[in-house]
Structure 1
Amino acid sequence: MLDCSGFVADSIKESRILTHSHPRNDRQRRHRWAAAAIGGASLLGMVAAFAIAPPAKDPGVELTTVIQKLPAPSITLLDTGKPVFLREERVRRSDTIASLMSRLGIYDGEALQFIRSNQQARDMARHLQAGTTVSAETGAWGNLHSLYCGATRQGRNAGHRTQRRRLRRS
């Protein structure tokens, strides 16, 4: 004999789950309405408190306008010369001289032309490897004062003494 009562009970339970929401969801909806009602009542209470509150007592302070000429402060400007900014970048694999100079904040066409035309500067630019640190002293408007090419990444060429070379336009 085949007992189907368990199957019927399970199918009724499933249909109840699918067609009706869980009682916990109903409680949460009721709680949301209660929270909204409490929040609304609190807001109305604050508005009513501000509307009913008496104005502040005026202590009778007299206001007077005072006009007085003040001497101009003495200003002295310090002349520190032309500001020099030092920037430092590492050479990347895909770098050109122009892209490296742009990252260093150098916007000096004459400096780029100098690097391309001067033999010592060209040799220095050719020997730049990825990871080499390059430092530049620039002016406020991106004009190049000096360019330093130096050490490679730490750990690379371990016993090799690195030489720091400086290029300065004359």
Structure 2
Amino acid sequence: MKLQFNLSFEDLIDLQKNVISKSKHHRKVKYILLSAFPIPLLLLNLILQRPVSLVTIGIILLWIIVFPSLYKKLTLFSIVRMMKKQNLNGVLGSNTMLLDEQGITRTTKNNQNFLAWDQFVVVQEDEKHYYLYVSDVQAMIISKSALTDDRTKEAFQRYYDSYFVPLLEKQN
């Protein structure tokens, strides 16, 4: 089965948004940073032998409420800034993906690579993409715009049912 689509910088940003919100790595970093402020503040109160004031509790609660969305925005901003400095010609533009019983071969203008089905560890999707993760933070993107006609959708659905549904079942 052959899929053809154009991959844009916005598609890569969508992938990064998915990685930030779903990956174990970012979840762990977010919780470490989330606790990096309140714990020292509480320890400082203990060292100074002062009771924890309402102001301190208010600041901690505000931090806990605001930080998760702040983390997502700042992390995405940082990643986008780094991506703009990189040469992404090997990924962006015209993508052709051949799906067969062994795996997926992706061909771009400057690159070709193959990933066997057993290399994929997680499958995610949003309204425009399928994200086929090979690690917690690295994935291949399949644009849903490549599924243009009923025959292509049916063929893709067979691969999806055979190879991706078992991954989804393992995820849950």
| Larger Rg, first or second structure (1 or 2) | 1
More helix by share: 2
Name the TM-score, length of structure 1 as normaliser.
0.21
Larger RCO of the pair (alpha carbons < 8 Å, separation 6+): 2
Name the TM-score, length of structure 2 as normaliser.
0.21
